[in-house]
Amino acid sequence: MTIQDLKSQNLIFLEVISGSKSFGLDTPTSDTDIKGVFYLPKEKFYGLDYIPQIANETNDEVYYEIGRFVELLLKNNPNILEILATPEDCILHKHPLMERLRLKDFLSKLCKDTFAGYAVTQIKKARGLKKKIVNPMAKEKKSLLDFCYILQGYATVPLLQWLEERNYQQERCGLINLPNSRDMFALFYDAEGNLGYKGIIQKENSNEVSLSSIPKEKAHLAYLSCNKDGYSKYCKEYTEYWNWIDKRNEDRYQTNQQHGKNYDSKNMMHTIRLLQTAEQVLATGKLNIRVPNRAELFAIKSGEKEYDELLELADQLILSIENYYNTSTLPDYPDEQKALENLIEIRKSLYS
């Protein structure tokens, strides 16, 4: 099924404008995100074609089947609770039966882990993004040879430098393992190229060095150390970095470059908003997603705050959340039995 199917068959139970427009954080260039709840045609629900979620290709329109919606509400999923807390001016359609699902029946102390826990994940993400911004990686990928070194006395020399100084070719080198020594090799060289040495690596993207059969009378020229762990880490970071380059939002990236603070300011704005929301829920027992501090959050988004200042603010909010958690009158968990009874009554009404 598609979103168009939901609309043409009148299966939409709830439809709201979500994201920045519902938070009161939109600008003239903001996208319009749509979230909603639907129910399946009777034959699909009772058959084998249960569909928990339907979205468009860009994922800015997402609809949840009513059972899946209740399941996520019981887990205090931030995105789902925010749908139920949508301000009236952002509700596009609401079936009367939605009145059975009341926000106050789902808010619980779980919000500390879901809202604040997600925010902490975003802080880690922001730290990783800051690293990518501050430490760009060259497009030309290094090979395992860049992580090999030649031992010289108490020092090491990069293998590529050592080869260049001697006008050696890596393809004419031969390696044998050193017993009881991890990633250490004796290196031999075949100047004539007729001994069948396999070289140090056989392909540019090799992640292992090659071993050769060496005549017993041949003397080694040097000992080689290969940092395979360092190369594996580099390959992972290289892939992550260039995937990020390919997928990043260019306008958002340029904004980050313009304010020069070397962090994803939009990400940090939403992180602080999530922490403030968790604090609000635990302090008041209510969830109002329309922010009262638009100016403060926009100052974060525009890069007016220092990165360390924001991390300190986040730490203060986390401490405050812990304190409110200990005194909150909210239940530890939502009333699952009540939620299931309401869901059953909703389904009975829909399929009667």
Name the more confident of 249 and 32: 32
Q: Are 67 and 344 in contact (CB under 8 A)?
A: no
The pLDDT value recorded for residue 305 is: 86
> Which contacts (CB < 8 Å, 24+ apart) does range 97-102 have?
97/13, 97/346, 97/349, 97/350, 98/13, 98/14, 98/37, 100/342, 100/345, 100/346, 101/69, 101/70, 101/73, 101/339, 101/342, 101/346
Q: Are 114 and 334 in contact (CB under 8 A)?
A: no
Average pLDDT of the segment spanning 179-195 = 94
Provide the pLDDT confidence category of residue 82 given band limits of 50, 70 and 90: very high
Task: State which H helix or E strand residue 88 sits in.
Answer: none
Residue 308 has pLDDT above 60, yes or no: yes
Residue 162 has pLDDT above 70, yes or no: yes
DSSP per-residue letters across 230-290: HHHHHHHHHHHHHHHHHHS-HHHHHHHHHHTS-S-HHHHHHHHHHHHHHHHHHHHS----S
CA geometry: angle 41, 47, 50, nearest 5 deg: 65
The pLDDT value recorded for residue 65 is: 97
Task: State which H helix or E strand residue 162 sits in.
Answer: helix 159-166
Q: Are 37 and 101 in contact (CB under 8 A)?
A: no
Q: Which of 74-83, 95-104, 252-261, 271-280 has the lowest mean pLDDT?
A: 252-261
The pLDDT value recorded for residue 117 is: 83
Provide the pLDDT confidence category of residue 255 given band limits of 50, 70 and 90: very low
Taking CA atoms, 205 is separated from 142, 166, 187, 262, in Å, by 9, 24, 21, 32
Phi and psi, residue 260, nearest 5°: 70, 15
Q: Give CA–CA dist 320/70, Å, rounded.
A: 29
Q: Give CA–CA dist 342/350, Å, rounded.
A: 12
pLDDT mean across residues, the chain = 90
Residue 11 has pLDDT above 60, yes or no: yes
The pLDDT value recorded for residue 252 is: 46
Residue 290 has pLDDT above 60, yes or no: yes
The pLDDT value recorded for residue 128 is: 55
The conformational region for residue 201 under phi > 0 = left, psi -120 to 50 = alpha, else beta, is beta
Q: Which of 9-13, 119-123, 268-272, 321-325 has the lowest mean pLDDT?
A: 119-123
**Tokens matching residue 155:** 């020092």
Sign of the Cα torsion 57, 58, 64, 69 reads: positive
